[in-house]
Amino acid sequence: MTAKMKNEDSIKNFIKESNNKHKRRKKHFSMKNNIQVHVKDSFLNDIDAEYVFNKIETTIPSHLFYNIDLIYIGQFDEFSERKVNALYKNGAIYVTNDQDDEEDMIDDIVHEIAHSIEEIANDKIYGDGSLEQEFLGKRKRLYNSLKSENIDVGRFDFLNPDYSIEFDEFLYQEVGYPTLASLTMGLFLSPYSTTSLREYFAIGFEEYYLKDKKYVKKICPFLFQKMELINNL
């Protein structure tokens, strides 16, 4: 390679890197249905936000953004209060700027899109009771599995479909997610989906759109039916 060619390549690389830095520092984006994205606090790691939002736009059907007006990125008091890194509230998604990588951020946002859909399709998702019945059936099996491991499960109502921070902490701290992952493999889509019916739905939404639809259908048939239903709202 000649010195001239090397110099041209160096200039091209410089321009490309400059463009990438500009994208990473960008504070405002627009998504489908005129959803505005505001970066309140800069990312702590090197995240290509344009890639994140393009991936979400091309993966999630446009009609499922109906209940979202804004997305905010940064640090918010409710994150520490609720011990979460993303949440949906009053037509807006709030997501942390502390992301491991682009896929981590995509997971967070898609999860909250699922929670936004619960507001507009609650009856279609939960009205006939089939999803709750499936979830609680799996909870019973989890109860028996934990009991067989000599884990004290008597303090908790495994037939309560609502989220409980005490139950979540029990699973995370006392049982441990590695043990929980082993016990729930082929039963739940992830350890976190055991924590409540709503998280069971939201994790299913993630798996359906971002990972493996066939796996959802195989181990959570009623959840799969609900995904197919909202996909065609």
Check residue 16 and give its pLDDT. 42
- pLDDT value, residue 11: 46
Query: How distant is the alpha carbon of residue 30 from its chain centre?
Result: 20
Location of structure tokens 């399709």: 121
Q: What is the pLDDT of residue 18?
A: 42
Per DSSP, 175 falls in state I
Domain ranges of the chain: 3-120, 124-231
Q: Is the pLDDT of residue 6 over 60?
A: no
pLDDT of residue 28: 84
Candidate from 77-81, 112-116, 194-198 with smallest mean pLDDT: 77-81
pLDDT at 188 over 90: yes
Q: 197 falls in which pLDDT band (50, 70, 90)?
A: very high
What's phi and psi for 162, nearest 5 deg? Answer: -80, 155
Q: What is the pLDDT of residues 149-169, one digit of tens each?
A: 999 999 999 999 999 999 999
- Whether 25 shows a pLDDT value over 70: the answer reads no
CATH architecture of 3-120: 2-Layer Sandwich (3.30)
Residue 7's pLDDT band (cuts 50, 70, 90): low
Write down the pLDDT at residue 233: 78
Q: Which among 229, 190, 225, 221 has a CA at the least distance from the CA of 206?
A: 190
Q: What is the mean pLDDT of the chain?
A: 89
| Per-residue pLDDT at 122 exceeds 90 | yes
When pLDDT is averaged across residues 221-232 and rounded to a whole number, the result is: 96
> What's the start-to-end Cα distance of the chain, in Å?
57
- Nearest-CA neighbor of 172 among 140, 195, 197? 195
| pLDDT band with cut points at 50, 70 and 90 for residue 14 | very low
- Residue 8 pLDDT class (50, 70, 90 cuts): very low
Percent of the chain residues past pLDDT 70, beyond the cut: 88
Element at 73 (helix H, strand E): strand 70-73
Other C-beta atoms lying within 10 Å of the C-beta of residue 188? 25
Residue 34 is predicted with a pLDDT of 84
Is 72 in a helix, a strand, or coil?
Answer: strand
